[in-house]
Structure 1
């Protein structure tokens, strides 16, 4: 991380958090622990916490197509889908409408990170949850994590615009989604935490002939955001594009129901363990779509005919449509977030912060580490360099990682090192661990310890992080038996035994 001279200090009084997903909830908890802010407000456009871990069944959005090709990171505010609440048991009656927002969750999704590594530092997983929890378990876990800060969340509230005021504060304009009638309001905050995630606008690369193919065969090209069950691809000849977490997992599901073999198209080797199979053929990237005979040509010159469906598991754009007035902007191409320091702070006005933009990381502990820094900077206990030095950091990082989709990627061990570097930065804050009287308890003699300490990864966490792709494969290879596996030892991985062998 290098030198972090404390030249600028901020004393923030009110903070707005966009989103009640994991990173937004974590930010709120670390801000609350500072005992330094008169107001912390979370805006959440859904009616429950959890963010993308809220599952939306296929019937909620029907057959709505996405644009092909999808190349605009500034596609506008997320559109709510209105539907009637479940009125089962209410004869001839319908309950009020509510909004649903699409998420990339699919029916059979299980985490690709073992729960020992994935969880929040101060909340245990249910003892009966499997080693790689199902998405339903993760949502309930997040809801439990949110219990003590639910009073800070304003649900069914969509952020439409955030702009700077003349006195360098933030004007936040929102829309009430409790009914269809458009009701907007504005509030002013000293700081904003943008925690709405980056899994909203699908990225589908442009390929020659794609537009013509899509017009000739409507619905044949889709994105993993719309995938829900492998039944959608039963008995079809399918190409899955992309071999990151979603591509490998979804591909393995489709492989069991599609017309064999499944074609897996990718441009590089997966960081996950890719099991060879006679029912799967690895192919290079698609070079051209050929409408005749429903064909595609791959970069190695081979051609596949009679292709029924192509599913792109190629990720998402970074997109913050409510920040369109920022100058300089944070998003242009959407391949990364620009004008940031340490992947977090907006350089011209660091009271705007972005947690968990990084990819190839373990999100929950990273959210804690970054939230701890944000909370201490906003409370004035940590300082930041001036803008010129922040720009230098971005330039140096760009030279090392590139200026495109790899900018925010932290491949192991860089992600683990980053978590520990942030921890060390946090514990260097002024007054760290001191006892203070909360502002809302001035007369009761209550004292608390200021600040919440983020996780620090030791040898065991590094050991798990390095091996989790192999751990996931061992788990998957157990078939239905995997649902009864709770620990690393259950799938053949034992840290203590490994440590004993290494030590011996």
Structure 2
């Protein structure tokens, strides 16, 4: 299935890692590329805006600000909001916090064949990755194509088969004019295709736990989503309730514990098949034994207690699923993940230029709760109209490597070096995915084993030299898997500890043995299926 017309110009929304990877491959394919980035600097999640720190952020969000197309912008808080000239401005803070370090090794966090400098450590601070992305953009001629401080607020398909992209300047220091009655600040351009690379670490997922709304109304400066975490200073000498079961809950909980009096992590019991690989679960199992002395884990929260007549959060109770309860909490940190969002596809008033119905696009693209991206062939091409593509949708992946692999696939299709299946075939394949997913929230989850199958299926489909080469490179990264597990466990074991004990070391060895047995079995299955014939080195570490 080829696009209805030759693609010559492409708009890329977002100048984070996935957007830069896509821009590189499209430029190499000879296409005209414009990258729109709403922040004042390229780099996406790795741009740290520490100056925009606020000790607490209310949790009342607009789903979309009508005049600007923003996604779940908090217009009620007073921290970074700026006022001037009778207008309101708001920034776009990144979830990057002061002490953030990579939790994937740097060979995995490389875009394609562009490696980190020789001697780079396996785990590096966020500013190292930001520097790497800037160097990458300069090396491949992307920087001149990036329009920073430019927010895409509307995206529509025209009758002439072009996409119209409406943008607005966000101004210096990430400021966006929200209260715009007129649209004379906006500019509109047309492109043959669009690639959305806006990531999925922007719109906080708010738990629907009974009583939480009442808590945030009563103590709004003492409830915060991890998206707005910057450092542990606001938590000094406090009892902090961390809500969440993922990596961010564990990592931030440990950091908060360095300053807090006590940290309580309330975590849900994960289903047996939640989309993660068994080795990932083993790492989590091991890290539970490395909790700081002032950090404990408890059952999932069933209800935040009634606040009637209670003036202090410390006097309110939190009920848990196991029948027990908590009290004495001074601060709640929600590490509850993020939702997918594409606010520029929301349905605005028609311009009379033959626009398609954007509501249909959005409703067919993102599930109502924001947990799934649907109707995407290989999590990339929008099946009803493949001139709209996405990069960076899958989760539990080797991030940068997969971004580049998807970018190669997009460039191959848009450059007419590869042909998509028919729409009927893509719809049938997607229906099979929906029917076989393990739970309603795991559609876009891969994990280490499914990721190898994912790259193989794309490589078999496109069958181009550059795709096959990239696929082999990703598969060869499996040799780092044990080293990756070793370094993660060692770093978590040693953080905040002056020494280890024999029990910790024995648990560490058991984890590695079990992990390697699982990995060996899965890789053997793939190799038996002829996965490029790549021999995986399983050296002892």
TM-score higher than 0.5 here? yes
CA RMSD of aligned residues (A): 3.3
Q: How do residues 90-239 of structure 1 correspond to structure 2 at under 5 angstroms?
A: 100-147=91-138, 148-178=141-171, 183-239=185-241
Going from structure 1 to structure 2, the CA distance change for 1:118 and 1:418 (only over 3 Å counts) comes to: same
Counterpart in the other structure of 2:478: 462
- Of 421, 427, 433, 1:397 maps to 433
Q: Does residue 297 of structure 1 match 2:319?
A: yes
Q: Does residue 346 of structure 1 match 2:385?
A: no
- Of 6, 10, 13, 1:11 maps to 6
Going from structure 1 to structure 2, the CA distance change for 1:136 and 1:419 (only over 3 Å counts) comes to: same
State the alpha-carbon separation in 2 of the partners of residues 350 and 175 from structure 1: 26
Counterpart in the other structure of 1:21: 16
Deviation at 1:243, TM superposition (A): 2.6
Q: With a CA cutoff of 8 Å and minimum separation of 6, indicate the structure with the bigger relative contact order.
A: 1
Counterpart in the other structure of 2:538: 499
Contact 2:376 2:382 in 1 (8 A): yes
Contact 2:37 2:147 in 1 (8 A): yes
Residue by residue over 1:394-424, the C-alpha shift from the partner in whole angstroms, topping out at 9 and shown as x without a partner, is: 2111122256321111122112332343344
- Count of matched residue pairs: 452
Q: How do residues 269-308 of structure 1 correspond to structure 2 at under 5 angstroms?
A: 271=281, 272-273=283-284, 274-276=287-289, 277=291, 278-290=293-305, 291=307, 293-308=315-330
Counterpart in the other structure of 1:309: 331
Secondary structure, aligned partner of 1:368 = helix
Counterpart in the other structure of 1:383: 419
State the alpha-carbon separation in 1 of the partners of residues 218 and 58 from structure 2: 15
Contact 2:479 2:537 in 1 (8 A): no
Counterpart in the other structure of 1:409: 445
State the alpha-carbon separation in 2 of the partners of residues 425 and 463 from structure 1: 25
State the alpha-carbon separation in 1 of the partners of residues 35 and 474 from structure 2: 32
State the alpha-carbon separation in 2 of the partners of residues 99 and 211 from structure 1: 24
Deviation at 1:173, TM superposition (A): 0.5
Contact 1:40 1:152 in 2 (8 A): yes
Structure 1, unaligned stretches of length 5 or more?
1-5, 85-97, 434-450, 483-490
Moved more, 260-269 or 191-200: 260-269
Counterpart in the other structure of 2:27: 32
Moved more, 401-410 or 269-278: 269-278
Moved more, 171-180 or 183-192: 171-180
Deviation at 1:309, TM superposition (A): 1.4
State the alpha-carbon separation in 2 of the partners of residues 415 and 151 from structure 1: 33
Going from structure 1 to structure 2, the CA distance change for 1:289 and 1:73 (only over 3 Å counts) comes to: farther
Moved more, 310-319 or 468-477: 468-477
State the alpha-carbon separation in 2 of the partners of residues 392 and 71 from structure 1: 36
Secondary structure, aligned partner of 2:128 = helix
Task: Flag the structure with higher helix content.
Answer: 2
Counterpart in the other structure of 2:86: none
Counterpart in the other structure of 1:445: none
Contact 1:193 1:353 in 2 (8 A): yes
Deviation at 1:501, TM superposition (A): 6.2
Contact 1:52 1:104 in 2 (8 A): yes
Q: How do residues 331-342 of structure 1 correspond to structure 2 at under 5 angstroms?
A: 331=366, 332-342=368-378
Going from structure 1 to structure 2, the CA distance change for 1:252 and 1:314 (only over 3 Å counts) comes to: same
Contact 2:479 2:538 in 1 (8 A): no
Secondary structure, aligned partner of 1:118 = coil
Contact 1:255 1:262 in 2 (8 A): no
For normalisation by structure 2, the TM-score amounts to 0.76
Residue by residue over 1:167-216, the C-alpha shift from the partner in whole angstroms, topping out at 9 and shown as x without a partner, is: 22101101123377761111111000001111111001111111222223
- Of 48, 62, 65, 2:57 maps to 65
